[in-house]
Structures are given as structure tokens and as C-alpha cells.
Amino acid sequence: MEKIKTTVIGAGIVGLSIAEKLSQNFDELLVVEKEESFGRHASSRNSEVIHSGLYYPKGSLRAKLCVRGNKLLYNFLKKHDIPHRNCGKLIVATTEEEKSILNELYKNGMRNNVEDIRIISEEEAKGLEPEIHSHGALHVPSTGIMDSHSVMKKLEFLTEKNGTMISYATEVSDIKKVKDGYILSFKNDDFKIKTEILINSAGLWSDDIAEMAGIDIAANNYELHYCKGDYYKTTRYRNFQHLVYPVPTNISLGIHIRINLNGEVSFGPNAYYVDELDYKIDETYKQDFYESINTYLTIGKEDLHLDDCGIRPKLQAKDEPVKDFVIKNEKNLGLPNFINLVGIDSPGLTACPAIAEYVEELIE
């Protein structure tokens, strides 16, 4: 049986960030990914927004890792010349009543040390984005957009350059805890690997991996709920200068304007719970999109066309309070150096370099 000191399960943006970070100091490191290439799930089906960190409760992992991740990510993008734009965003009050929500978000952002945020008037918001109607907005300059595929490609390149192997089409199917580590088995393959440090970065399947390692996921509240979000695109508008968001809901940041680096415009994601992992989409929610977008931008249904979707791995079940990321060394559950990442929903894309630092600190 082959022995590898450290194994990372999952080559989404989080697993790749962890692997890239550890590969700088760790000799024997392996990444296993069930798909044929990196980032086939949440990491390629999202808004590609570099978040500021203003939404999350002070002291939560989400807040800390997003604020730090924002800075680390911009540094990484600049250092490696990866396409991105620090465009900033506007969170708009679509009624007078929503202005109090902007104030709460502003105060929360200040508590989390998000830089340069400012409440602006309806006139100033109009000056920044003439097509948008609002009753005032929160201006968040540190928000941006990036080419996340290029980020993952660079992380893959750097990880492999440091001598780490990334094994694609390699699906972990069983984990056995032994005295000094873990034995991994793989689907459709007879070989096994023994590893001392095991990192679960399996995104939508991270609860399954935790269960394979022997964790009672119900007792530990690690059960994931799939929360799908669709996007609609339009050619009616182009080249907004800022991302534009409504105020957030309990389960999502709201149907916002997504802009890409080519200036193309789409809207989403909405949020609805599903039982299956299935990326097929239809027009069930078109009316909701139409109504929601028209609270801040005038658009006809004929200008909205189905685009794509993503599925969030949420720890939060329907109508429950928002839960924080789980990122733990599960030594208290009798699994030393099983580093468990469960429920890495938004802002996982932004937080990924900070998550990687945090994971390195958890390894003993």
C-alpha cells in the first residue's frame, strides 16, 4: 500500500488553495479529485465576486476568512497577472424602509473592518449607475470580480510545480481510521493509500466524506442541504461599472447584477432547496427574477434568458438561522489530523487563500 503523508480530497478552488499553500512546505502531498479536471462544481458555478466580508457576524469564520481572503486574493491576482477588476458594489435600498437595513450592514461592515464603505444618497447612487433606481445605497469599494477558472489553473500549476500530484478521476469511496492515520479506498480501483493527514475539501460531498471517516453527521450538525441558484442573462444592458445587489435575504445575498470581465450582464442567483444534485434548469422562477430585478432596474421578461446555475452546500436547512463554515481538526472526535471542511458556501471563493492559511495552522 502506498503511503502519502498528506492527502487533500477535492480539487475545487478551496482544495486547490489548500494544496498550493501546503505544497510550499510539505513534501509528500497528494490531491484526489473524482472529476476529470478541477472545479467542475461550486467553484465554476457562481458569481465570481470577490466579497468584502460585510454581511457576516463579527468573529465568525466567514467574516474573518472573507476579509483576509479579499486582501490575499487581490495580491494573488496581481502577482500572477490574472484578469480581475476591483469594480466595487452598490447594495441598494429599493424602498425607504430598507434604508435601515443598509445602516445595519454598514455597522456590521465597520465591525468586521471592511474598508471605505459608505452610505450614499439616491443622487450619488444615480451618478455611479444611472440606470439603477434606489432610495440610497451602501457603496463597497473592495468588492470585485475575477476569472476564477484562471485562478484555479494557476493554483493547479503552482501546486504541481512544487512537486504535488493531483490525481483526477479518483473518487474516494471509503475511509478507514487506523492507529497512525487513515486508509483511503477508491471507486473502480483496487489500490489503497495510507495517509497521516487527511483534508476533506469535498464541497457538496463533504458530509459524505465526514461520514466515511466515521463521524455521526446528524449528531454533529454536519448534514448538508442543497440550495440551488439560477442565473438569467440579458443583452439589454452592458458595461455596468459596479455590481448591484438588493439587501440580503436569510438564505442568499439576493438576485443581483452579475457582470463579467467582458462587460456582459446577468442576474442571480436566486435560492431554493433541492433534494438532488442536478444542474438542469427551467423557467419556473422567471417571474420571481422579473419582479425582483424590477425593484432596482427596469427590464422586460423578453430580455431575460436562462443562463446557468450553481448549488450551494448549505449547513442551514430551510428557515433555520445561518450557520458558519465548519473548518476543524476533528481530534476531539477521535480523528486527529482529519481536517474537516463542511458547508463552504459563499464566500468560499473569496475566502479560499485565507482558508488555506487556517487549515495549515490546524494541522498538528
Ligand X SMILES: Cc1cc2nc3c(=O)[nH]c(=O)nc-3n(C[C@H](O)[C@H](O)[C@H](O)COP(=O)(O)OP(=O)(O)OC[C@H]3O[C@@H](n4cnc5c(N)ncnc54)[C@H](O)[C@@H]3O)c2cc1C
The residues of the shown chain that bind ligand X, judged by CB under 6 A, are 9-15, 32-35, 39-43, 45-49, 51, 171-172, 201-205, 209, 229, 269, 310-312, 344-350
Shortest Å distance, C-beta 170 to ligand X: 6
Residue closer to ligand X, measured from CB, 17 or 329: 17
Nearest residue (CB) to ligand X, 56 versus 296: 56
Q: Min. distance of Cβ 292 from ligand X in angstroms?
A: 15
Asked if residues 358 and 328 have their Cβ atoms less than 8 Å apart, the reply is: no
Distance of CA 241 to the CA centre of its chain: 23
CB 221 within 8 A of CB 208: no
CB of 122 to ligand X, least distance (A): 26
Q: Which three three-digit cell numbers place residue 195?
A: 495517509
C-alpha cell at 233: 442573462
Q: How far is the CB of 67 from ligand X (least distance, A)?
A: 12
Q: Tell me how far apart the alpha carbons of residues 253 and 33 are, in angstroms, rounded to a whole number.
A: 29
Cβ-in-10-Å burial (0-12, 13-18, 19+) of 289 comes to buried
CB of 30 or CB of 136, closer to ligand X? 30
Grid cell 430551510 in the structure block, residue:
318
**Least separation, in Å, of the C-beta of 127 and ligand X?**
26
Q: Which is nearer to ligand X, 136 or 254 (CB)?
A: 254
**In contact, 146 and 72? CB cutoff 8 Å:** no
Contact by Cβ (8 Å): 337, 361: no
H-assigned helices in the chain: 13-23, 61-79, 99-111, 122-128, 148-161, 206-212, 286-293, 348-362
Please answer whether residues 326 and 222 qualify as being in contact, where contact means their C-beta atoms are separated by less than 8 angstroms.
yes
Minimum distance of ligand X from residue 152's CB (angstroms):
9
Cβ closer to ligand X: 136 or 203?
203
Whole-number minimum distance, CB 189 to ligand X, in Å? Answer: 11
CB atoms within 10 A of CB 174: 12
Min dist. Cβ of residue 68 to ligand X (A): 13
Cell numbers that stand for 80 in this block: 500572477
3 state SS for 210-267: HHHCCCCCCCCCCCCEEEEEEEEEECCCCCCCCEEECCCCCCCCCCEEEECCCCCEEE
The grid cell for 103 is 445602516
- Closest CB to ligand X among 136 and 351? 351
Set of cell numbers at residue 91: 447594495
Instruction: Compare residues 121 and 279 and give the one whose CB is closer to ligand X.
Output: 279
Cβ distance to ligand X smaller for residue 127 or 305 = 305
Work out how close the CB of 121 gets to ligand X at its nearest, in angstroms, rounded to a whole number.
27
- Cβ contact 30:193 at 8 Å: yes
Nearer to ligand X, 30 or 117 (CB): 30
